[in-house]
């Protein structure tokens, strides 16, 4: 099974979930991930991939830079369309410990995640929260999950990788079911 990525530092950094998948049956075949990437930057870097699943883990920097949520979701839709993968797996914006300053990233992350849920529902894509186990009730990182309040520690990324293996397979299976439903003949009653 193949997958591609469109992501920011949570995907790009050493010891990220991507680097800790540990499953030879899941093969990374391309994509883009970079520290500081917004959805607009990621769209500018998207390439045709034809992977089974496109993992989209963006939004953290859009929130930090106060990108309108509608613009973020429109960019994500364009990324998925141009990548030409079988389906997309949308990952929620990770927790944040940053609630002071000009942008309350913790609160705005919750709003961004609502927009991602809505987008996934409209498009029939799997929406996943690989960091749910480390997300406190106020949308901050739980104790011992992050040193900087933005990025998960390596052991947290390792646990997220376990979940991502399942989410990627789920997205691929859902794509297959949706395809079969589209191809099934309609029977007259």
pLDDT (tens place) for every residue of the chain, 189 residues total: 999 999 999 999 999 999 999 999 999 999 999 999 999 999 999 999 989 999 999 999 999 999 999 999 999 999 999 999 999 999 999 999 999 989 999 999 999 999 999 999 999 999 999 999 999 999 999 999 999 999 999 999 999 999 999 999 999 998 865 554 445 454 554
Residues 6+ apart with CB under 8 A from 170: 89, 126, 128
* Cα gap 172→25, rounded to integer Å: 13
Q: What share of the chain is helix, strand, coil (3-state, %, to 5)?
A: 45, 15, 40
pLDDT at 27: 97
Q: What's the topology of domain 2-183?
A: Rossmann fold (3.40.50)
Q: Residues 82, 49: contact at Cβ < 8 Å?
A: no
pLDDT at 175: 80
Report phi then psi at 84, rounded to 5.
Answer: 55, 40
* Cα gap 175→111, rounded to integer Å: 27
Report phi then psi at 81, rounded to 5.
Answer: -60, -45
Longest dimension (CA), the chain: 61
pLDDT at 157: 98
pLDDT at 75: 98
pLDDT at 182: 44
Residue ranges per domain, the chain?
2-183
Cα distances (Å, whole numbers) of residue 85 to 25, 55, 105, 122:
17, 10, 30, 17
pLDDT at 181: 42
pLDDT at 176: 60
Q: Within a 13 Å sphere around the CA of 34, how many CA atoms are in the beta-carbon half?
A: 13
Q: Residues 5, 57: contact at Cβ < 8 Å?
A: yes
């Amino acid at each position: 099974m193949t997958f591609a990525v469109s992501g920011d530092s949570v995907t790009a950094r050493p010891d990220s979930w991507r680097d800790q998948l540990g499953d030879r049956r899941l093969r990374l075949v391309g994509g883009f991930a970079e520290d500081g990437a917004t959805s607009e930057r990621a769209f500018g870097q998207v390439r045709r991939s034809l992977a089974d699943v496109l993992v989209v883990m963006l939004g953290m920097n859009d929130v930090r830079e106060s990108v309108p949520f509608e613009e973020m979701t429109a960019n994500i839709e364009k990324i998925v369309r141009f990548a030409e993968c079988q389906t997309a797996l949308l990952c929620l914006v990770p927790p944040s410990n940053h609630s002071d300053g000009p942008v309350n990233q913790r609160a705005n992350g919750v709003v961004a995640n609502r927009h991602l849920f809505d987008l996934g529902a409209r498009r029939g894509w799997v929406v996943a929260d690989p960091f749910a186990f480390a997300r406190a009730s106020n949308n901050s990182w739980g104790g011992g999950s992050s040193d900087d309040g933005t990025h998960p520690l390596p052991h947290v990324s390792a646990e997220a990788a376990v979940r991502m293996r399942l989410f990627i397979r789920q997205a691929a299976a859902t794509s297959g079911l949706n395809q079969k439903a589209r191809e099934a003949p309609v029977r007259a009653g």
